[in-house]
Amino acid sequence: MCVDYKDLGALTPSALRRVRAKIGFVHQDHALVPNLRVSQNVIAGSLGSRSFVSAVRSMVWPDRAALERAAAILTRVGIGDKLFQRTDRLSGGERQRVAIARALFQDPSALLADEPVSSVDPARARDTVALLLELSRERRSTLVVSIHDIALARDFFPRLVGLRQGRIVFDEPTERVDERDLAALYAIEGLERVERGGI
Amino acid sequence: MAASNASGHIAVRPLFGTRGVVLLGLFLIALAAWFALGLSPRGLIPHAGGVEIAQRFFAGALHPAIDYESAPPIDADSFLVTVLAAAKRTVVFAAAGMSLALVFGIVLGFLGSSAWWSGGTAPSSRFLARFAWPSVWIAARTTIVFMRSIHELLWAVLFLAAFGLNTFGAVVAIAIPYGGTLAKIFSEMIDEAPRDSGLALRHLGASRLQEFWFGLVPRAFPDMCAYAFYRFECAIRSSAVLGFFGFPTLGYGIAQAFENLHYDEVWTYLYALMALVVAVELWSGALRARFVA
């Protein structure tokens, strides 16, 4: 697989770290460290560009600049008051915001979100997708979201990629995706279906 | 699970599965051990003099001594001060031993955990991955087994023979087996901790070392803390027993009181030991309550 024309399998570990540091990933289950503070989880987003000693310092005694940046990002995603809370005291929706903030703290050139709306109610699902879109427009970065809800994908994303069992079924601007494409995507019930939208 | 096959017969549940055989085997081994030792409840019936000693001993539980039972040396502290000083030294020995054991436990637990060595990211070179790292892991596991297979009292006897009645010897005697046990349990707790947060850090570019210390260890930390507290409680008991070899902890007072048949004094020392254990328990309980959100 190639990223920026670089074959990931052929990279040295440190070159691979540099590539990974520029890709923000919002995990389906958030994958935060529950017994650390929100600030620590957010600042962990910068581990990819830190040496071990600098990482220890940033996790144990973060400097003012890092804390202020974390606070600004948390405010942007709507939970600015939670900076020094323990992460496991937050609600599921708030934890998802922390996971998004951690990805933003990386200052990524691409943001990937794995099923960000699978475990939230429909109203919040739209909020979350809208937030991800706004954030990547502000930052002019790529956004790729995997999603099961076709209506949601159609409403928000300019480009849809239909995936079935790891194969691309269609890859078109949203307005050109028609019933035939969807029929091909869902031809046999019970198979895994993933809908991707990107800008 | 299909409970019936194509021809409609219901699968027969075996009368004795593997589990049943293993349980029966264990029961038979236990029975064999009892017979081999010739154990019988009659062994617990004391001889005539023994009954009286036992009565006097257990009567002491109701009225522990608050003063020496016979005239002490002229310059001796009062009895309760002596007990308190012994209790304090018991804690000091245990704390010194535990602090050294924690260093052993953290370093060896880190080297001995398979989560660290089998992380799955590209190793730095083929030679290191093939030979150097596995031999470090094996060396760490072997050291851990060696340290904890010898009991602290045996280490104490060994150091007593080598260095005489040396405080540092007593502390090291506690630290070695405790360090080995901590390392074993720490490495297992780290290996069993959820991996998702560590993997997430790897995906955002963290090195293996960062992934381990910031993604994995924090997940195991509450359990590690609780276990370290439990071992501290054990260390207090071990430190007390070291007194029987002449170190100035609670065990020293117990041994002397026993020799002089001062059973009330023995109970004062025993109650002091119990108070220490309860105090550690309360402390660790309060801490655990804060860990669980």
The residue with greater pLDDT, B26 or A124, is: B26
A27 to B196: CB separation less than 8 angstroms, yes or no: yes
Lowest mean pLDDT among A11-20, A79-88, B80-89: A11-20
B124 pLDDT exceeds 60? no
For residue A9, the model assigns a pLDDT of: 75
Asked if the Cβ–Cβ distance from B293 to A35 is below 8 Å, we say yes
Higher pLDDT, A2 or A135: A135
Interface check A9 vs B, CB under 8 A: no
ipTM for this prediction: 0.85
Q: Do A35 and B124 touch (CB under 8 A)?
A: no
DSSP element (H, E) containing A23: strand A23-26
Q: Is the Cβ of B225 closer than 8 Å to some Cβ of chain A?
A: no
User: Would you call A24 an interface residue with chain B, using a CB distance cutoff of 8 Å?
Assistant: yes
d(CA B152, CA B272) in angstroms, rounded, equals: 22
pLDDT at residue B1 tops 60? no
- The C-alpha of A42 sits at a distance from chain B's nearest C-alpha, in angstroms, of 11
Could you give the CA distance from residue A72 to residue B41 in angstroms, rounded to a whole number?
74
Cα nearest neighbour of A15 on chain B: B205
Q: Are A49 and A104 in contact (CB under 8 A)?
A: no
Instruction: Tell me what the mean pLDDT of segment A115-133 comes to.
Output: 83
Instruction: Give mean pLDDT, residues A67-88.
Output: 93
Percent of chain B with pLDDT over 70: 92
* Chain B residues lying within 8 Å of A36, measured CB to CB: 218
Domain edges within chain B: 80-291
pLDDT at A147 over 60: yes
Q: What is the mean pLDDT of residues A81-108?
A: 92
For residue A105, is pLDDT > 90?
yes
**Residues from chain B contacting residue A20 (CB–CB below 8 Å):** 202-205
Q: Give pLDDT, residue B29.
A: 95
User: What's the pLDDT tens digit per position in B21-61?
Assistant: 899 999 999 999 988 988 887 777 777 788 888 888 888 88
> B80-291: which CATH number, 3.40.50.720, 1.10.3720.10, 3.40.50.920, 1.10.10.10?
1.10.3720.10
Does B271 touch chain A if contact means CB atoms closer than 8 Å? no
Q: Please indicate whether, in this complex, the C-beta atoms of B210 and A50 are within 8 angstroms of each other.
A: yes
pLDDT in tens, B193-206: 999 999 999 999 88
Sheet containing A167-173, strands listed edge to edge, beginning at the edge strand earlier in sequence: A23-26, A110-114, A142-147, A193-198, A159-164, A167-173
- Give yes or no for B128 touching A (CB within 8 A): no
Spell out which residues of chain B touch residue A24, defining contact as CB-CB under 8 Å: 204
Q: Does A89 touch chain B (CB under 8 A)?
A: yes
Cβ–Cβ gap B214/A103 under 8 Å:
no
| Mean pLDDT, residues A60-85 taken together | 93
Q: What is the average pLDDT value for chain B, to the nearest integer?
A: 87
pLDDT band at B144 (very low <50, low <70, confident <90, very high): very high
Say yes or no for a CB contact (<8 Å) between B202 and A29.
no
Chain A residues within 8 A of B291 when measuring between CB atoms: 35
For residue A190, what pLDDT band results from cuts at 50, 70 and 90? Answer: very low
Between A195 and B256, the higher pLDDT residue: B256
* φ, ψ for residue A39, nearest 5 deg: -60, -40
pLDDT of residue A177: 81
A47 near B CB under 8 A: yes
Answer yes or no: is pLDDT of A198 > 50.
no
Task: Indicate yes or no: CB of B214 within 8 angstroms of CB of A47.
Answer: yes
Q: Is A37 a residue whose pLDDT tops 90? A: yes
* pLDDT at site B8: 62
* Burial B16-46, CB ≥16 within 10 A → b, else e: eeeeeeeeeeeeeeeeeeeeeeeeeeeeeee
With contacts defined as CB-CB under 8 Å, which chain B residues touch A59? 214
Q: What is the pLDDT of residue B50?
A: 80
Structure-block tokens of residue B216: 């994995």
Domain at A2-108: CATH architecture: 3-Layer(aba) Sandwich (3.40)
Position B292 pLDDT exceeds 80:
no
In eight-state DSSP terms, residue A31 is: -
Predicted confidence (pLDDT) per residue in B73-116, tens digit: 777 788 899 999 999 999 999 999 999 999 999 999 988 888 77
Q: Output the pTM of the full model.
A: 0.80
Asked whether the predicted pLDDT for residue B122 surpasses 80, the reply is: no
Q: Do A20 and B121 touch (CB under 8 A)?
A: no
More confident residue, B247 or A6: B247
